[in-house]
Amino acid sequence: SVNGSKRVINAGCFPPLEAPRVMSETDVLVVPSMWMENAPLAVLQARAAGVPVIASDVPGVREVVNSSQQGVLVPAGDVGALADAMRSAILEGPRRYAPDPVISYSDHLDRVESIYGESLSVLDPSPSPTGLELESTQPGAVGEMVQA
C-alpha cells in the first residue's frame, strides 16, 4: 500500500509472464511519463485487459490511449492534472471496458500489408509492371523488393 492506504497499491516488480494476472487485479494503470514512449508495453497490456490508463500526453502513449473509455491523458509534468485524474478514478471506482478483440497473426499481417500498400501508392501511384518490385526514385537510394 502507499502511505498506509488500502485503496492505492504499488504492485512493484513482477515477471513479464505475470502481466495478465497483475492487470486482472488492477483497477487503473498510471503512467506519468515525461518523455516519448516508443511502444509502451504496460499501456498495451492494460488495453488488452480492458484496464483504463491515466497517462501523460506524450508521443507513443497518445497513439495507444485514444478514447475516453481507454483512459485519460494529462499534460506531461502537470502534477495537478495527474492528481485530479487519479482522484476521479478513485472516487468513480473501477470502470473496466471490453478490450479490442484479439486478432490472429494472419489478420494482423494482412492489415499491416494493406497499410504498407496504401503508403506505397501515395509515394508512387503507378502500379509496378510485375507487382513485385518498387524502385527508389531518389538518386543513390537502394530500391526495395515488395510484393504488391
Query: What tens digit of pLDDT does each residue of 4-18 get?
Result: 666 677 778 889 899
Query: Mean pLDDT across the stretch 48-73?
Result: 92
The whole-angstrom distance between residue 110's C-alpha and the CA centroid of its chain comes to: 20
pLDDT at 51 (0 to 100)? 94
50, three cell numbers:
480492458
Please determine, for residue 74, whether its predicted confidence score (pLDDT) is greater than 90: yes
Reported for 42-47, long-range contacts at CB under 8 A and 24+ positions apart, including other chains, are 45/19, 45/20, 46/71, 47/99, 47/100
Percentage of residues in the chain with pLDDT exceeding 90?
47
Termini Cα distance of the chain: 54
Q: Which residues pair with 29 in a beta bridge?
A: 53
Task: Check if the beta carbon of residue 97 is closer than 8 Å to that of residue 70.
Answer: yes
Split at pLDDT 50, 70, 90, the class of 94 is confident
Query: Mean pLDDT across the stretch 115-136?
Result: 68
**Residue 147 carries which side chain, given as an amino acid letter?**
Q
Task: Check if the beta carbon of residue 143 is closer than 8 Å to that of residue 133.
Answer: yes
Please state, rounded to an integer, the average pLDDT across all residues of the chain: 82
Q: What is the pTM of this model?
A: 0.67
pLDDT at 131 (0 to 100)? 53
